[in-house]
Amino acid sequence: MMKITIPLTRLVPGLIIGPATWLGPYIAAASLFLPALIQQLDETNKITLLALFSSCGMVAATISNMLAGYVSDRTYSRFGSRTPWIIIGAIAFMLSMILTSTANSIPFLLFCWILAQIALNFIVAPMVAWLDFAADDKKGTASGAYGGLGMALGNNGFTIIAAMFLGSFRLGFIVFGIITFIGTLISVFIVREPSNLDKKNQNQVKQNDNKQKSSLAIFPRWSIGRDYYLALIGKLFQGISNFTITGYLLFIMTDFMHTDSSETQNSIQLINLVMLIFGILMGFIAGPISDKLKILKIPVGLSTIFLGVGALSLVIAPNHIGILIYAFAAGIGMGVWNSLDNLLNLEVIPDKNRIAFFLGVYNLGNTATQALAPIIAACVISLFGFGAIFITSFVLAMLGGISILSIRSVKR
C-alpha cells in the first residue's frame, strides 16, 4: 500500500496558514481575552478562577484530543481522513468563541470555554497529521513550516493584533473565532487532501490480521514507547515553562512590574514582535538545515536552554532590559523548538498506523500545558510571589531539555 504524499507547494502553505489561524486566536483568547473577561466578572478571585478554567480546559482538551486523533485515523472519505474533522472543529470553535463573548457569569463562561477547548482539538489532532503527507526527505521542511512559521505567527503574530482588543475583548472573541474558521477553510482548500476510500478495505483486512498481535492497546508500555514518552515529557516541561510566563504576561506587567495600560500594551507587543521575527527566521532555516545535516534531537533539546535563559533574565533584570533579553532568548528557543519538535515526535511514534492519535496526544503540549501552567503559576505566586514563576520556568525548561536529549532512537 503506497503512502499518500502531497507536494510541498501545496502542503507548506497549508501548514503555515492552518496552525497560525487555530493557535493564534486560541493564544489571544487564553492569555488576553479570557483573563480580561474573568477580571471583569470577578476581579477579586481572578487568579484562582483562571486556574480553575485552565484545569477544566485541560481535562476537556486531553479527552477531545485523543478522541479526535482516534476517529481521524479511522475516517475514510473522498476528502481524506483529516479534512472532515478539521472543518467540523473550525465551525464549532468559531461558534463557541462567539458564545463566549456573550458570557455575563462565571459558570456560563466556563461552559463556553470547555466547548471551545473540545472544538479546538478537533482541528489540532487531525491537522498536525498532515506532516506525514510530506516526502520522507522533506519532512523537516514541512515541520518547519508548521511549527516554525505557522506556530510562530499563531503564538506571537496574532497576539500583537490581539493586544489592540484589550479595550474591547468581547469583540476580540468574535473576530478571532471567525479568523480561525476562515483560515482553516483556506488551508484545507490549499492542501486538498486526496480521497482515502481505496484504503478502507485494505486497512480493515490488515487490522483483522493484526488483532491478536495488538499489544499496544491505547498506549504502549515503557520498553516499547520509551522515546515517545521522553519526547512527550520534554514537550510538557517545555510548554509549561513557556506558558507560566506567557499565560500570566498581562498580570506580570500590571501586578509585578506595575506598568500602566499603555506600557503594558507596548511591552506585550514588543515581546511578541521579537519572538515572531525569530520564529519566522527559524521556520525558514531550521527545517531545511535539519533535512540536510540530518540533525534533530540536539537542536530541539538545546532550544529549551534558550527558553530557560530567557526566563532567568526576568529574575536578574525585572525591567524593560529583562523583557528585551527574554524576548530574544525565548524567540530563538521557541523558533527552533516549534520548527522541529513535531518532526522529532513523528520519528519516535511507536505505532505508525495511529499517527494522528500519537501526534495529537503529543500536541496536547500546545493546549494542555496552557491549562497546567496557570495552575502551577497560581500556586507559586500565592506561596512565593510573582518573581518565583521565572525560576520555576527556568527549572522546567532545563528538565525538558534533559528529557529530549535522553532519546536514543534519534542519534543527533
Neighbours of 379 (CB within 10 A): 14
The reported pTM is 0.74
Concatenated DSSP letters of 198-246: GGHHHHHHHHHHTTTT---SSS--HHHHHHHHHHHHHHHHHHHHHHHHH
First-to-last C-alpha distance (Å) of the chain = 30
Q: Are 355 and 132 in contact (CB under 8 A)?
A: yes
Do the domain assignments include residue 295?
yes
What is the residue whose three cell numbers read 489540532? 124
- Whether the predicted pLDDT of 257 surpasses 80: no
Q: How many helices (H) and strands (E) does the chain have?
A: 18, 0
Cα 412 from Cα 407, distance rounded (Å): 10
Do the domain assignments include residue 61?
yes
Do the domain assignments include residue 306?
yes
Q: How many CA atoms lie within 13 A of 205 on its CB side?
A: 6
Do the domain assignments include residue 2?
no
Task: Look up residue 227 and give its amino acid.
Answer: D
Do the domain assignments include residue 412?
no
> CA angle, 96 as apex, 94 and 102 as ends, to 5°?
110
Quote the number of domains for the chain.
Answer: 1
Which three three-digit cell numbers place residue 175? 473576530
Cα 33 from Cα 268, distance rounded (Å): 14
Task: Look up residue 58 and give its amino acid.
Answer: M
Cα 237 from Cα 49, distance rounded (Å): 23
39-87: per-residue pLDDT in tens? 889 888 887 888 788 888 888 888 888 888 888 888 888 888 899 999 9
Pick the closest to residue 308 from 293, 326, 324, 296 (CA basis): 326
147-206: per-residue pLDDT in tens? 778 877 787 678 778 878 878 889 999 999 999 999 999 999 999 998 888 776 655 555
Q: How many CA atoms lie within 13 A of 71 on its CB side?
A: 15
Pick the closest to residue 372 from 18, 31, 15, 51 (CA basis): 51
Do the domain assignments include residue 352?
yes
More confident residue, 310 or 375: 310
195-247: per-residue pLDDT in tens? 888 776 655 555 554 444 444 456 777 877 788 889 888 988 988 888 888 77
Q: The domain that contains 273 carries what CATH number?
A: 1.20.1250.20
Query: Which residues span the domain enclosing 91?
Result: 10-196+222-405
> CA angle, 50 as apex, 172 and 381 as ends, to 5°?
125
Q: Are 196 and 81 in contact (CB under 8 A)?
A: yes
Do the domain assignments include residue 55?
yes
Decide: residue 107, CB within 10 A, 0-12 exposed, 13-18 middle, 19+ buried: exposed
Cα 77 from Cα 75, distance rounded (Å): 7
Do the domain assignments include residue 378?
yes
Coil vs helix vs strand at 385: coil
Pick the closest to residue 378 from 55, 54, 36, 47 (CA basis): 47
288-311: per-residue pLDDT in tens? 787 777 788 888 888 888 888 888
